[in-house]
Amino acid sequence: MVNGDGAYEDPGRAASRLTGRPVGEGRAGAGSPAEVMLDGDIPVMVKRGDAPGAVRAEVAGLRWLAAAGAVRVPEVLGHDERWMVTERVPTGRPDPGAALRFGQALAALHGAGASDFGAPPPDGPEDAFIGLAPMRNTPGTDWPRWYAEHRVLPYVRGAVDRGTLRHREAEVFERVCVRLPELAGPAEPPARLHGDLWNGNVLWGADGEVRLIDPAAHGGHRETDLAMLQLFGCPHLDRVLAGYEEAAPLAGGWRDRVGVHQLFPLLVHAVLFGRGYADQALAVARSALRA
């Protein structure tokens, strides 16, 4: 990558510049994210964000999650507009006890709250990302309306524009959005969400504690994080949910609402990865309309 001075900068150089420590001889990785060994055998992860605001959004999200004092995240050791350096987390095997504690900590994270649905983290941009897809953090006070306007319909339009969804199929999601006030369950206060909580962003630490990485953090409905965790699978998910319910019981009927909350990640994946996810999202939407 070319830095602001026009010189090439690889992950090792970026890590050294942002942390003030030299890179160990022959110990720099390539690509992004890359593992880099700093002098003194200190391993770090180095990630490049090419889209404007991507690094700023991720750093703000990690720090907002960490500020809750609940779920652990890797410490940010340095960053600029293009590069981010974090501690490297040694990983181990998923463990039922760690899963139970993770569920309890996730409940505490959600309970730390947000000012509004759609609220970005402090110092985070309104125009953020979920994976490679743009995600706009526009605050709102009514979850069903906010979810429809900012987490369902933008990705429906994006999938139609890409030819992944047909116009007639888009009407299915529009009908779900009209019915969201009755499908959403009891009103909940804005929760502090990780926002992209699939299993790939859950690190099972060698020390027996879970860390979360790559957030798309914002204020939202706590059931959305849990629904995403269920959509893509998670080791010992039953223990995670048991720990969560023990710490902060979910409103009755939450299992019937999982599909509604999964529409967001499914539509994001339809925009990014194509028709297979669009079919899955359609099946979920049609099932919601039959409820």
> pLDDT tens-digit profile of 163-180?
999 999 999 999 999 999
> pLDDT tens-digit profile of 107-145?
999 999 999 999 999 999 999 999 999 999 999 999 999
Q: What is the mean pLDDT of residues 16-29?
A: 79
Q: What percent of the chain has pLDDT over 90?
A: 89
Q: What is the pLDDT of residue 218?
A: 98
Fold of 96-290: Aminoglycoside 3'-phosphotransferase; Chain: A, domain 2 (3.90.1200)
> pLDDT tens-digit profile of 44-72?
999 999 888 999 999 999 999 999 999 99
Instruction: Look at strands 34-38 and 23-28 and give their pairing.
Output: antiparallel
Chain centroid, CA 142 distance in Å = 21
Q: What is the mean pLDDT of residues 256-260?
A: 97
Q: Residue 240: CA atoms inside 13 Å, Cβ hemisphere, count?
A: 22
Residue 5 pLDDT class (50, 70, 90 cuts): very low
Q: CA 228, 112, 212, 139: dihedral to nearest 10 degrees? A: 60
Average pLDDT, the chain: 93
Name the more confident of 179 and 30.
179
Q: What is the mean pLDDT of residues 25-45?
A: 79
Residue 9 pLDDT class (50, 70, 90 cuts): confident
Quick check: 166 and 145 in contact, CB under 8 A? no
> pLDDT tens-digit profile of 83-99?
999 999 999 999 999 99
Residue 3 pLDDT class (50, 70, 90 cuts): low
Q: What is the pLDDT of residue 7?
A: 45
The mean-pLDDT minimum among 23-27, 195-199, 228-232 falls in 23-27
Rounded CA separation 129/132 (Å)? 6
Quick check: 38 and 17 in contact, CB under 8 A? no
Instruction: Please determine, for residue 14, whether its predicted confidence score (pLDDT) is greater than 50.
Output: yes
Q: What is the pLDDT of residue 26?
A: 54
Residue 29 pLDDT class (50, 70, 90 cuts): low
Residue 40 pLDDT class (50, 70, 90 cuts): confident
Instruction: Please determine, for residue 1, whether its predicted confidence score (pLDDT) is greater than 90.
Output: no
Strands in 101-249 per DSSP E: 127-130, 133-136, 191-193, 202-204, 210-212, 218-220
Residues of the chain with CATH 3.30.200.20: 11-87
Residues of the chain with CATH 3.90.1200.10: 96-290
Query: Which DSSP string do the residues of 46-77 spell out, in sequence order?
Result: EEE--STTHHHHHHHHHHHHHHTTSSB-PPEE
> pLDDT tens-digit profile of 275-286?
999 999 999 999
Correct CATH for 11-87 of 1.20.120.450, 3.40.50.720, 3.40.50.280, 3.30.200.20? 3.30.200.20
List Cα–Cα distances, 140 to 118, 128, 143, 150, 176, in angstroms. Answer: 6, 16, 7, 9, 19
Quick check: 257 and 239 in contact, CB under 8 A? no
User: Is the bond preceding residue 94 a cis peptide, omega within 30 degrees?
Assistant: no
Tell me the three state secondary structure of residue 204.
strand
Q: What is the pLDDT of residue 28?
A: 53
